A and B are shown apart, each in its own frame.
Chain A
């Protein structure tokens, strides 16, 4: 009995000594400030109907469909964007680079393309090393891409 109690105590102490994961930055919301270097950047929190764009130092909700944007921000949780396989695409195909905005951040993209109307491909995953930029090709006929990690995604000029 005493040994069991001791063991539990040791395990508890060990677990409590583990480093706590750093908290993710808060997801942008309409009306909250954004830094000037993010001007023109868009993001799309999961619980809103339209993307947010950083304008005049604030995140503002779009009120109508916009052309595909070349800069997107993901903040930890996955954001889902659509490509040219769907009406009013958020991103265009081409060469993209994801830049981590925190030292230990890992940028990850999971793409699905259109095989034929109503049929999507299996997910294709691109994942960078922690803290390292990720270069990837946004595929033609892209149906959707899930972006995760606290990263800035930028399309290279074609």
Chain B
């Protein structure tokens, strides 16, 4: 055990740094000894785990994993098989998916264990007046903090791969890019936010907030460990080597993409190496995958990031661009690793699977569902209608990292379900349902299902697009829910969840979705009509019935006319009864008000605000935020947090592990799609500045 277990990793790192240094110094190609870079032998690999030590502090828990049995680099959890899986569900709907792992139980509809605190009524019930409990939902994500790892990560990145980006950002005047936001009425009290304790926060946030609960240690205030000092020393050396590259002098040589590729690899190795030494869980378990990354980095240099937006760039008073999630560039290089040059949407949810201490990787992840995906520039090449990415990154200040894929080794926690070692595959297929032109994920949620393979089932709502029209306009065939019991590797469309887009049916208002688990145990499912011109409607259902549209209840705010009146309340199996809960407020002023129409949206319960929060794009293509004490409202007026940007923005999808969502800070992280780049960005909003 001990350092010997990391020799292979150090070797890879040495190669990356050796070659990188040679390039940086401009003296030709380094003749690095390739001996350390060869795949680690079984006795030097880091993958296997036979012992676990949990170290608990006041606020964080770090699982230490140790390797004693090197003969099994990758624990195989299931029988592995390659090929195509064809699944037939009850009514004949066939779902085919090429899979790299054998699965069991995927065709069985999972049973739910969670029960709501109150049984729903069969008929209309009065409008609920209870406010949500202050306790968080039981499914509140609890990612494993890796304070030392992340502190190291930040140090390493700032001194290596992000030198140019950070330098550019520091040169630019952030205030020049500021855009005014409309003053809108009632919203969260900043004082309440500021009083929230911070266990995960950016330096920027730390500088802005004076009221910090000092009794809770944070990553930024923890005593410096010897490992951190070593990391800083190495980083300083790297910074010194790279210093000429950060300049813009005429004598400065052009920045070779190769060095950025190698340094990106080096950064990842630093993350893993120091995280492992410090007892954290490394995301990249497979030494083969690590070598693959190194080989890819060396052979195919990674292009630099697009010029706009620059990492860290402030785009509004409250919101800045953090970094790219997808793209053929840093930091995730999804093109080379997953054949994802471009994609969009990126709706996220906690997979609800706790870490298994007996494995070398962290099972607790965020799943990221994306829409039309292409392997080539400008939407060319291999086309997939949808796919899944995964991330276990809990420290989002420097972006959201996506681990390498895991190919044919039984590990279902790699960066994406694959159809080749470097190709993310489509996961939802139309089966016997109308095909349409594409199947776009709109929302996801994980619910506990004891007895299933990982104890949790993933549910993903998607829309079948019949035809695209002008920006913000499209028609759908239906929406439906697919489910997966293997962390998103294989999905089955539930026929009982299909909502056809028929003009005479209230289901037309539930073509795009947003899920949130209520504090009362219900799953709340918001819906909008196809396109971006409608309002948001609300339904709820017991977790065990999420796949059965007949079991849903629909919220009606109460209507009165000359001939009839409908009391406010919930109406079972009658989607036509649903009335808007926000958007389309109406009136002459409504059209011009922020948030009047609702686009792709995401809803969360925010523990720092003690409110439900929704993000969506409005009729001006601005991103707006609303809050509410209950899922049905009343929702606050919409407040713009980000106006339309060059290139076209859409689909704001909140990250479930945002500090504000977790109740540990005031930052809200969210994915946002940029049409011109056709990729997904990670954004950060400081809720104290909204």
Contact = CB atoms under 8 A, between A and B. Distances in A.
Interface in B461-481: 464, 467-471, 474
B554 to A, nearest CB: 29
A141 B467 contact: yes
Interface in B664-686: 675-677
6 contacts: A64-B621, A85-B437, A86-B437, A114-B438, A116-B435, A120-B383
B468 A117 contact: no
B385 interface: yes
Nearest to B425: A118
A114 B385 CA distance: 11
Interface residues of A, number: 28
Contacts of B380: 80, 144
B500 interface: no
A144 B437 CA distance: 12
A50 B372 contact: no
B392 to A, nearest CB: 27
B344 interface: yes
Contacts of B676: 49-50
A66 interface: yes
Interface of B: 344, 371-372, 378-380, 383-386, 426, 428-430, 435-439, 464, 467-471, 474, 621, 644, 646-648, 675-677
A14 to B, nearest CB: 40
A67 B436 CA distance: 21
Given A64-B621, A114-B438, A87 B468 contact: yes
Given A64-B647, A116-B430, A118-B385, A86 B436 contact: no
A141 B675 contact: no
Contacts of A143: 383, 437
Given A64-B621, A68-B469, A88-B471, 19 more contacts: A49-B378, A50-B676, A63-B648, A64-B646, A64-B648, A65-B648, A68-B470, A84-B468, A85-B467, A86-B438, A88-B468, A116-B430, A116-B435, A117-B435, A118-B384, A141-B437, A143-B383, A143-B437, A144-B379
Interface of A: 46, 49-50, 63-68, 80, 82, 84-89, 114-120, 140-141, 143-144
A49 B435 contact: no
A44 to B, nearest CB: 9
Nearest to A85: B437
A144 B376 CA distance: 14
A85 B621 contact: no
Contact of B647 (A63, A66, A117, A119): A63
A85 B383 CA distance: 12
A63 B468 CA distance: 20
A64 B675 contact: yes
Nearest to B383: A118
Contacts of A119: 383
A117 B430 contact: yes
Contacts of A68: 469-470
A50 B647 contact: yes
Contacts of B386: 117
A117 B646 contact: no
A117 B467 contact: no
Contacts of B474: 87
Nearest to A119: B383
Q: At the interface, is chain A mostly helix, strand, loop or mixed? A: loop
A26 B493 CA distance: 50
Contacts of B429: 116-118
Given A87-B468, A89-B469, A114 B675 contact: no
Given A50-B676, A64-B621, A117 B469 contact: no
A140 B467 CA distance: 9
B677 A86 contact: no
A85 B436 CA distance: 9
Contact of B372 (A63, A87, A140): A87
A59 to B, nearest CB: 16
Contact of B385 (A66, A67, A117): A117
A117 B675 contact: no
Nearest to A92: B469
Nearest to A120: B383
A64 B471 contact: yes
B467 A84 contact: yes
B675 A88 contact: yes
B343 to A, nearest CB: 11
Max chain A C-beta neighbours (<10 A), residue from B371, B470, B621: B470
A4 to B, nearest CB: 44
Contacts of B468: 84-89
Contacts of B426: 117-118
A115 B380 CA distance: 16
Nearest to A63: B646
Contacts of B470: 67-68
Max chain B C-beta neighbours (<10 A), residue from A50, A68, A116, A143: A116
Max chain B C-beta neighbours (<10 A), residue from A87, A89, A119: A87
Nearest to B374: A86
A29 B384 CA distance: 32
Nearest to B674: A49
B620 to A, nearest CB: 11
A64 to B, nearest CB: 4
A121 to B, nearest CB: 12
A63 B438 CA distance: 25
Q: Which 7 A-B residue pairs are closest in the complex by CB-CB distance?
A: A117-B385, A67-B470, A65-B471, A116-B435, A64-B648, A118-B385, A85-B437
Contacts of A114: 437-438
Max chain A C-beta neighbours (<10 A), residue from B344, B437, B675: B437
B439 to A, nearest CB: 5
B344 A87 contact: yes
B451 to A, nearest CB: 32
Contacts of B435: 115-117
A118 B383 CA distance: 5
A66 B474 CA distance: 14
Nearest to A65: B471
Contacts of A65: 471, 648, 675
A49 B677 contact: yes
Contacts of A82: 379
Contact of A49 (B430, B438, B647): B647
B541 to A, nearest CB: 26
Max chain B C-beta neighbours (<10 A), residue from A67, A88, A141, A143: A88
A78 to B, nearest CB: 11
Nearest to B435: A116
A46 B437 CA distance: 25
A67 to B, nearest CB: 4
A110 to B, nearest CB: 13
B437 A84 contact: yes
